[in-house]
Amino acid sequence: MKPASVNRQILSIALPSIVSNITVPLLSLVDVTIAGHLGSAAYIGAIALGGMLFNMIYWIFGFLRMGTSGLTAQAFGRGDNGELMRLLVRSVLIGIAVALLLIVLQTPVIQVAMHLIDASDEVKRHAITYYRICIWGAPAMLSLYSFTGWFIGMQNTRFPMYIAIVQNVVNIAVSLFCVYCLGMKVDGVATGTVIAQYAGAIMAALFFMVCYYRRLGRPLIDHRLLERGALNRFFNVNRDIFLRTLCLVCVTVFFTSAGASYGDITLAVNTLLMQLFTLFSYIMDGFAYAGEALVGKHIGAGDRNALRTSVHRLFAWGFSIALLFTLLYIAGGQPFLGLLTDDEAVIAASASYYAWAVAIPLAGVTAFILDGICIGATATRIMLLSMFISVALFFAVYAAAHTTLGNHALWMAFVTYLFTRGAMQMLLLHRRMPYVL
């Protein structure tokens, strides 16, 4: 394959994914914005608290998207239409089963969450209302994860982009109608969110039925749906991703908690600088998705030359973008932070930590690209082992240095963790599949 052709394939998958990634936080932002006009700060706190809980829950179950993506891409490369159909049905059914379990367990989950979180009684009361309504959107959200992973595996990221845009439009329209026309409060915001989630899931199902069902020419349910070997592979892949995600959540929660221990200013600084990492991750995730789709397709087709070319092009794009972000962050500096806050004390305090944020793109780019490659190759055990080692090193670095370096030790541990993830994945993947790198 010619590099120019591969570049077009990468961009055709990456760019719509980037747009989709950018729209994801808009659902929460819309809810918070509407809550901000309800007349009480407690509503904002309740929406923020409820949104955080759902973000954590759905993040943990993100394996439904990632596992489905890699397996689907390989079946697509093989031209195995029967398995393509079975993969989608398996993933959707498992997603719905998990969602129903979350609904059944909603009371103990919210009770534990409210016990652990320090908030006023009024905020907790509104947050519980928001949670008990939004939990009914879990079947739609987890089904949508399955559809999104399947579409990516089918080399199609345009459909997830369209769905994400429509979800935001529906969320805004329904939430505003419920709040300003029906006089609802937090319950109206939550209702808008749930309806938007089901609108997205229904839209995904319609895309599948109209554009893929007849083309695949296979029944939705067949005798191989519950085939033991296929189920074992599906659960093994998703188990590794699930455990990896738990490790990632541990690092994220600890980073926030440890930063808070150094005071409000330091917590604000860390939160501000972490937005630079989040912005970079939205872009890099798009190229990781391209890696999932293309690597899986080439492995399924048994085309090692195309596989190697795609991997090399992905790294070229990744390091180019990482270098660009590094230069932008160096040049932007304080003016960029000034766009995020007008608190002069926070901006001034961020100066001594800014170099760590600048180091993130080049330290983390390998991990992002190899995440996509490993998912496409269904080499999820490599991802898990790399994450275990990186998390252990994260805590070891912080434990060894925090008494003398304070918050700098936290950032040093985080940058080390990102770099180690990429380095370990590179080493382990090269040992397993030397023809890829």
pLDDT 10s per residue in the chain (437 long)? 677 788 999 999 999 999 988 887 666 667 767 776 676 667 777 777 787 788 888 888 988 999 999 999 999 999 999 999 999 999 999 999 999 999 999 999 888 888 877 667 777 888 889 899 999 999 999 999 999 999 999 999 999 999 999 998 999 899 989 988 888 888 898 999 999 999 999 999 999 999 999 888 888 888 788 888 888 888 999 999 999 999 998 998 888 888 888 887 888 888 888 888 888 999 999 999 999 999 999 999 999 999 999 999 999 999 999 999 999 989 876 677 776 666 677 778 888 889 999 999 999 999 999 999 999 999 999 999 999 999 999 999 999 999 999 999 999 999 999 999 999 999 999 999 888 87
DSSP state letter for 182: S
Taking the C-alpha atoms of residue 53 and residue 59, their distance in angstroms, rounded to an integer, is: 10
DSSP per residue, 232-255: HHHHHHHHHHHHHHHHHHHHHHHH
Q: What radius of gyration, in Å, describes the C-alpha atoms of the chain?
A: 22
Length of the chain measured in residues: 437
Task: Report yes or no: 346 and 402 within 8 Å, Cβ to Cβ.
Answer: no
Q: Comparing C-alpha atoms, which of 273, 245, 246, 247 is closest to residue 259?
A: 273
Give 138-184 pLDDT, tens digit per residue.
Answer: 999 999 999 999 999 999 999 999 999 999 899 989 998 998 888 88
CA dihedral 201, 51, 133, 117 (to 10 degrees): 150
Taking the C-alpha atoms of residue 2 and residue 313, their distance in angstroms, rounded to an integer, is: 10
What pLDDT score was predicted for residue 242? 93
Task: Report yes or no: 418 and 368 within 8 Å, Cβ to Cβ.
Answer: no
What pLDDT score was predicted for residue 276? 85
What pLDDT score was predicted for residue 408? 94
CA distances, 41 to each of 117, 126, 218, 293 (Å): 17, 11, 53, 44
Give 191-249 pLDDT, tens digit per residue.
Answer: 999 999 999 999 999 999 999 998 888 888 887 888 888 888 889 999 999 999 999 98
CA distances, 60 to each of 121, 221, 240, 243 (Å): 27, 28, 12, 9
Q: HSE (CB half, 13 Å, CA atoms) of 397?
A: 21
Q: Retrieve residue 23's tokens.
A: 């729209």
Distance from chain centroid for Cα 197: 16
What pLDDT score was predicted for residue 341? 66
Task: Report yes or no: 356 and 412 within 8 Å, Cβ to Cβ.
Answer: yes
Task: Report yes or no: 318 and 284 within 8 Å, Cβ to Cβ.
Answer: yes
DSSP state letter for 213: I
What pLDDT score was predicted for residue 115? 80
Q: Comparing C-alpha atoms, which of 282, 286, 281, 279 is closest to residue 152?
A: 286
Taking residue 386's Cβ as centre, other Cβ atoms within 10 Å add up to: 26
Domain parsing of the chain, residue ranges: 1-226, 228-437
DSSP state letter for 136: G
Report the amino acid identity of residue 125: R
What pLDDT score was predicted for residue 4? 76
What pLDDT score was predicted for residue 27? 66
